[in-house]
A and B are shown apart, each in its own frame.
Chain A
Amino acid sequence: MISPRVCVLRAPGTNCDQETAHAFEICGGKPEVLHLNRILENPGRIKDYQILCIPGGFSYGDDIGSGVIFASQLKTALREEIGEFLAGDKLALGICNGFQTLLKAGVLPDGDEGWNQPDSGNQPAKATLTWNENGRYTARWVRLKVTSTNSIFLRGIDEIDLPMAHAEGRIAVRDAAVLTEWEARQQMALAYIPWRKYHNAERVTLLTAQAGGSPGSRQGTSALMEQGNPNGSIADLAGLCDPTGRVLGLMPHPERFLFATQHPNWTRMNLAGDGAGKQIFQNAIDYFA
């Protein structure tokens, strides 16, 4: 098998590029961390890659709004090249700030179909990622349920624990019809569900797919962990995919769960080896096998 080439595209302020590249690498991909300036100098370079990944961080400081400036570059200077990339049999992944960028650029929610329709640049946005309901940057682990069968990245995963760390992770939609459409077209990729309690007695395997495990009992006082949805996102959404399943955006960070020792309860479960987040990168690489 030829390792697929992965473009980990960074902008000033991107800060998860190294570990994201590491994730693709240990899964057998050939990642390159590329500064956006290199692509702007030579937009044709995007063609060299099978996978485009925009990692997390604070591109351009997120000063105007998260991902806004990065997105404006994709929308204007790279419109055509991104269009070609999306039209091909290729994959795109946006994690956290990368998700914000893809959504604000209009790569999500509809991928090729949305981007390459006539006058797409002037269509009103269907959705956005905006301030968390608590008004604060929030870093914590969340449990997620895969709620679409479409996404190539999420194949074989039913539920997964991942860390999130963001201030603007609340998905808001223009109107309710957007949700209906997403549901019909299997675009609601990931939803927050209540945290599961791990006690020492149960030896849980987090490393492969689990058959729909039920959330733990709801006693105790940590409301945040129990309610699941950490930011007020509509329909508890944590991630979106395009109708083909080739583009995925998610707020939590799979590249921060490549090793068992990253799980907040690994010492309770005697976990060792890989972390469950690795599967998302492995799926992307395996798609080209």
Chain B
Amino acid sequence: MLWEVEILSRPEQIDREGQRILGEVRLLGLDSIQTVRAGRSFLLEGRIDEATIQKAMQLLLVDEVVEIARVRKPAEVDANDDSTATGQLFNVLYKPGVTDNTALSTRRALQQAGIAIEEVATCRKYWFDHQAQLKEIQVLAQRVLGNDAIERIVQGPLQMATLSFGHTYQLELKHVPIRELDDQALMKLSKEGQLYLSLAEMQTIQKHFRDLQRDPTDIELETVAQTWSEHCSHKTLGGRIRYTDEHGTRQFGNMLKETIFAATQQLRKEWGKDDWCVSVFKDNAGIVTFEEGENVCIKVETHNHPSAIEPYGGANTGIGGVVRDPLGTGLGAKPVCNTNVFCFAPPDTPHESLPPGVLHPRQVALGVVAGVRDYGNRMGIPTVNGAVFFDERYLGNPLVYCGTVAMIPANRCEKKVSPGELIVALGGRTGRDGIHGATFSSAELTQESETISGGAVQIGNAVIEKMLMDVLLVARDRGLYSAVTDCGAGGFSSAVGEMGEETGAVVWLEKAPLKYAGLTYTEIWISEAQERMVLAVPPENWDEFHALCASEGVEATAIGQFTDDHKLTLTYDGKPVGELSMEFLHDGRPPVIREATYSPRTDGSKATFAPKTDYTDDVHKILSSLNVCSKEWIIRQYDHEVQAGSVVKPLVGVMCDGPSDAAVIRPNLSSKRGLVVSNGMNPHYGDHDPYWMAYAAIDEALRNCVACGADPSKIAILDNFCWGNTERPETLGSLVRAALGCHDAALVYKTPFISGKDSLNNEFSFLDDSGEKQTVAIPSSLLISALGQIADVQNAVTMDLKAAGNVLYLIGETKAEFGGSHYALVNSSQSGSVPRVNPELAPTVLAKTHALISAGLVKSCHDLSEGGLAIAVAEMAFAGELGVDLDLGHADPLVALFSESTTRFVIEVSPENQSKVESVLAGIPYQKLGVVTETGRVEITGQGKKVVSAANEDFKRSWQSPLAWS
């Protein structure tokens, strides 16, 4: 029997969901829709009567203080269905096979309470009054109520008899006749089979099987495609590249190794016994030392393509995925904080200007934020740092970077698989979700992506992953396993293939626990179902390991064994379905050879801004520009204090709403030592020169870290390249140029890269009204994430002004650098030269600023980034609710206020410490700017005239209002 329990909020309670939808109705201009009533329902199937349903409602389903409910039988057709609400009803249900966490929890809880439930599903319900036009409701349904990729919408009272789906699976071995195909047919197979391999790669596979004198099975072909995907093998950036720019041509055998990685190697060599890197560029995250017996690791991943199609699930599983990276680093690290950076198109993009197949950027932003929130908060990992960057070119292809920092005991940083150990799947079950995620993420998005790749989208279940994490860390400390890795892109295929690379492995596919019956052996093997890890467990530890997992309710299943035959053998019910040599799988891929070119921009090197007598209005405009303005609406939805390590929060100041440069946390509650987490990114600089963009992003990440108290001599950084289609030489050229910047900057600052990631093909193409193919490529987006350390968190500094009478200094050198600046942006100009770091000066500026902070001489410190000095000072003032009275001297006020020259800070100093501070700063450019006042106003004089004058409240309002969404 199938029952539906329909639940609405009591009339005196606010119908929040209904109001939210009504807000979206207004934004869409759907005038016929005047009211929306929202509710939800549980669909419950089992041999149960109505009295049992009533019991379930009372025990679990309905909160009678604020809700009302009724029961109906959806199997019985009833035209005059009496709903608790009236009007036109629309139901939103998950498509079969999509993870429904609430349903899963409900089923378990009801079964535990002794109620014989077999299946549960959930449903969101919306009632519109009868004046609402069906056409308008349908527009709303499509754009707001549900997402086609994972949900279906049913009009009217639900009519269904059963929730069950799936069927038993009979083994049916499939071969792919590849040996006889011509080139065209090979490429057709690559595309239609969603393998996304190149012709050279397809030909290599063909030759391999011709040599073996047989055709591959489908699972063999899929395994190769997953392993050779850009996502898993990073073949472009690790491949051969011939790079040409204004200095000539350079050949790379492995571009990443010879730039970013080489810089780290050189630094480690220089440091010798003082080397503080532990494990770099080889495991799922990079590890550095922290304190006696304890190391720290960090990883940042992207989840761009899934987030474009289903923002909530994409971001949700992005967090879930990156958290599993440290869990799968060494023998497992405990996450202590998350960081997220998003790139969206402007949220006010008109609906009618959207190309087909593109979700509205506001909807993307809302979904992404909710996805990160719901996963990170549930995991109990504080989200302490982040950024949001807006540009029109992210329209069809938003970026979602998710990062995790985690602690790992010094003696748990290495792993080793030995033949004979069991291959154990731990955590969530395997379903049909996420099939072809690895290959899909390596392809370009098109307007059809939503339909073709819907299966690549998943929804995470954070609690499953939390349980997995809890039990894994206990098993780690008991020494129950010898290796672990996460099951991410490519699923078991990548995880087992990687772990068994040096040994060999046999996998018994039918053993994998499934979410529902009916999966083929290939689906089991490549499914990217979330919340799974793969471990190598010595057989003698299996019983203890299994019992430990069972005691916490976590599923652990031996699905195979590591061997010593250097082969990957796949079986189903004892029958072989695939066999590949590890050598072919890991070393057989033909090298990717690419051309890369870069031509420097020739236009716009001279700034052509007319001088103004008053710049107050420009300060307002920059403060309210999307990249600079307050992100409090997002930050407040993230738990940034769980684990009780918070020292410097993302928002600081008198009213806890000023923008902090970095976050400081204390991962060990019994120690004074802290971690400092920050990031740097500025795609606008990349439009001028990716080399200097990379330099500036590193400088920004380091500045942010140092401003809060981190020691610049021990900051580890990560690169994260999101680029367009690198088959175009000029796109790859701009990437290589950025990598060269990374290399040079790492050596200058003596700051090692310890891990990194790239995501290529971030483009969206569609057919325009005239049938022409249009492609929108994202701007070159290099995110630098920094992980610094502070010896004693008590020395941390925040950016809010502290007391009237204190003196403000500007540290660093200001040049006329406006290329990619926010002053140029708000004045609609492309001109100006991009900020260039002075390599002779920059490390000294960081070191001296740190010396002042650790000597306790700095009351507040803020780095200068987008918008330059004027923005930094305005933020410090309103965060501290104090005024400033500054004199820029003889300098051009425009340059002094808004230039974005790098490596600069504003510091606040007590009057009695001025001479101490000035003696430390001797030898580098610095300038006394003026004093902190009680006035609550920002007053700035330049060349003898007042150039900025405003009350803190006014600047703060400009800064807070753009993204203060309700």
How many interface residues does B have (CB within 8 Å)?
73
| Interfacial chain B residues near A128, Cβ < 8 Å | 63, 65-66
| Interfacial chain A residues near B462, Cβ < 8 Å | 13, 58, 61
Residue A235 interfacial (CB < 8 Å): no
Residue A197 interfacial (CB < 8 Å): yes
CB–CB B649/A264 < 8 A: yes
Residue A200 interfacial (CB < 8 Å): yes
Select from chain A the residue with minimum beta-carbon distance to B380: A15
| Per-residue A-contact encoding for B44-68, CB less than 8 Å = 1, 0 else | 0000000000000001110111100
| Per-residue B-contact encoding for A1-39, CB less than 8 Å = 1, 0 else | 000000000001101101100100000000000010110
| Interfacial chain B residues near A57, Cβ < 8 Å | 378, 380
Residue A220 interfacial (CB < 8 Å): yes
| Interfacial chain B residues near A124, Cβ < 8 Å | 64
- Tell me the residues in window 45-76 of chain A with beta carbons closer than 8 Å to chain B beta carbons: 56-58, 60-65, 68-69, 72-73, 75-76
CB–CB B102/A63 < 8 A: yes
CA distance A218 to B921 in the complex (A): 40
| Interfacial chain B residues near A58, Cβ < 8 Å | 377-378, 462-463
Select from chain A the residue with minimum beta-carbon distance to B670: A22
| Interfacial chain A residues near B793, Cβ < 8 Å | 261
CB–CB B643/A19 < 8 A: yes
CB–CB B636/A138 < 8 A: yes
Residue B607 interfacial (CB < 8 Å): no
Residue B644 interfacial (CB < 8 Å): yes
CB–CB B466/A15 < 8 A: yes
CB–CB A12/B66 < 8 A: no
| Per-residue B-contact encoding for A197-223, CB less than 8 Å = 1, 0 else | 111110000000000000000011110
Residue A183 interfacial (CB < 8 Å): no
Rounded to whole Å, the gap between the CB of A33 and the closest CB of chain B is 10
CA distance A65 to B528 in the complex (A): 28
CB–CB A134/B966 < 8 A: yes
CB–CB B16/A140 < 8 A: no
> Which of B14, B647, B881 interacts with A133 by CB under 8 Å?
B14
Stretch in A83-91, A145-153, A252-260 with 4+ CB within 8 Å of B: A252-260
How many interface residues does A have (CB within 8 Å)?
70
| Interfacial chain B residues near A73, Cβ < 8 Å | 112
Residue B770 interfacial (CB < 8 Å): no
| Interfacial chain B residues near A131, Cβ < 8 Å | 16
Residue A163 interfacial (CB < 8 Å): yes
Residue A182 interfacial (CB < 8 Å): no
| Interfacial chain A residues near B652, Cβ < 8 Å | 264, 267
| Interfacial chain B residues near A38, Cβ < 8 Å | 551
Stretch in B722-730, B758-766, B796-804 with 4+ CB within 8 Å of A: B796-804
CB–CB A13/B109 < 8 A: no
Q: Which of A15, A22, A173, A272 has the most CB of B within 10 A?
A: A15
Residue B163 interfacial (CB < 8 Å): no
CB–CB B60/A69 < 8 A: yes
| Interfacial chain B residues near A253, Cβ < 8 Å | 641
Stretch in B229-237, B598-606, B952-960 with 4+ CB within 8 Å of A: B952-960
- Tell me the residues in window 368-382 of chain B with beta carbons closer than 8 Å to chain A beta carbons: 373, 377-380
Task: With A15-B379, A72-B60, A172-B13 as known contacts, state yes or no: A165 contacts B966, CB within 8 Å.
Answer: no
Residue B640 interfacial (CB < 8 Å): yes
CB–CB B380/A35 < 8 A: no
CB–CB A220/B466 < 8 A: no
Select from chain B the residue with minimum beta-carbon distance to A273: B794
CB–CB A262/B109 < 8 A: no
Task: With A15-B642, A267-B797 as known contacts, state yes or no: A140 contacts B378, CB within 8 Å.
Answer: no
> Which of B641, B654, B802 interacts with A262 by CB under 8 Å?
B641
Rounded to whole Å, the gap between the CB of B708 and the closest CB of chain A is 10
CA distance A18 to B334 in the complex (A): 12
CB–CB A60/B654 < 8 A: no
> Which of A136, A197, A261 interacts with B655 by CB under 8 Å?
A197
CB–CB B109/A22 < 8 A: no
Residue B552 interfacial (CB < 8 Å): yes
CB–CB B644/A255 < 8 A: yes
> Which of B17, B106, B657 interacts with A64 by CB under 8 Å?
B106
> Which of A127, A197, A259 interacts with B65 by CB under 8 Å?
A127
Residue B75 interfacial (CB < 8 Å): no
Select from chain B the residue with minimum beta-carbon distance to A262: B646
| Per-residue A-contact encoding for B899-933, CB less than 8 Å = 1, 0 else | 00000000000000000000000000000000000
Task: With A35-B551, A61-B105, A268-B800 as known contacts, state yes or no: A261 contacts B641, CB within 8 Å.
Answer: no
CB–CB B655/A135 < 8 A: no
CA distance A267 to B652 in the complex (A): 9
Select from chain B the residue with minimum beta-carbon distance to A20: B644
CA distance A140 to B653 in the complex (A): 13
Select from chain B the residue with minimum beta-carbon distance to A222: B655
CB–CB B966/A267 < 8 A: no
CB–CB B881/A63 < 8 A: no
| Interfacial chain B residues near A22, Cβ < 8 Å | 644, 669
Residue A130 interfacial (CB < 8 Å): yes
CB–CB A221/B957 < 8 A: yes
CB–CB B109/A60 < 8 A: yes
| Interfacial chain B residues near A125, Cβ < 8 Å | 63-65
Rounded to whole Å, the gap between the CB of B644 and the closest CB of chain A is 4
Task: With A140-B636, A225-B655, A264-B649 as known contacts, state yes or no: A64 contacts B102, CB within 8 Å.
Answer: yes
Rounded to whole Å, the gap between the CB of B69 and the closest CB of chain A is 13
CB–CB B466/A12 < 8 A: yes
CB–CB A165/B378 < 8 A: no
CB–CB A35/B378 < 8 A: no
| Interfacial chain A residues near B881, Cβ < 8 Å | 197, 199, 220
Residue B363 interfacial (CB < 8 Å): no
| Interfacial chain A residues near B798, Cβ < 8 Å | 267-268
> Which of A60, A256, A261, A268 interacts with B802 by CB under 8 Å?
A268
Residue A195 interfacial (CB < 8 Å): yes
Select from chain B the residue with minimum beta-carbon distance to A125: B65
CB–CB B466/A13 < 8 A: yes
| Interfacial chain A residues near B65, Cβ < 8 Å | 125-128, 130, 172-174
| Interfacial chain B residues near A15, Cβ < 8 Å | 378-380, 466, 642
| Interfacial chain B residues near A256, Cβ < 8 Å | 641-642, 644, 646
Residue A141 interfacial (CB < 8 Å): yes
Residue A120 interfacial (CB < 8 Å): no
Select from chain B the residue with minimum beta-carbon distance to A230: B636
| Interfacial chain A residues near B379, Cβ < 8 Å | 15
| Interfacial chain B residues near A267, Cβ < 8 Å | 648, 652, 796-798, 800, 802, 860
Residue B154 interfacial (CB < 8 Å): no
CA distance A186 to B669 in the complex (A): 35
CA distance A75 to B641 in the complex (A): 31
Task: With A15-B379, A268-B800 as known contacts, state yes or no: A135 contacts B66, CB within 8 Å.
Answer: no
CA distance A6 to B489 in the complex (A): 43
> Which of B373, B797, B800, B953 interacts with A221 by CB under 8 Å?
B953
| Per-residue B-contact encoding for A156-197, CB less than 8 Å = 1, 0 else | 000000010100000011100000000000000000000101
Select from chain A the residue with minimum beta-carbon distance to B880: A268
| Interfacial chain A residues near B553, Cβ < 8 Å | 12, 37
CB–CB A135/B466 < 8 A: no
CB–CB A37/B956 < 8 A: no
Residue A227 interfacial (CB < 8 Å): no
CB–CB A13/B642 < 8 A: no
Rounded to whole Å, the gap between the CB of B376 and the closest CB of chain A is 10
CA distance A73 to B60 in the complex (A): 10
Rounded to whole Å, the gap between the CB of A175 and the closest CB of chain B is 10
User: Could you list some 26 contacts between A and B, CB below 8 A?
Assistant: A15-B378, A15-B379, A22-B669, A38-B551, A58-B462, A63-B101, A63-B105, A64-B61, A64-B105, A65-B63, A72-B113, A124-B64, A133-B14, A134-B966, A138-B637, A139-B636, A139-B641, A141-B656, A195-B656, A197-B881, A221-B953, A222-B655, A256-B642, A258-B669, A265-B656, A267-B798
Known: A64-B106, A135-B17. 7 other contacts (CB 8 A): A13-B466, A19-B643, A19-B669, A57-B380, A165-B642, A197-B654, A267-B652
A-B pairs, 10 with minimum CB distance: A15-B380, A19-B644, A135-B16, A128-B65, A63-B105, A61-B463, A222-B655, A63-B102, A200-B803, A13-B463
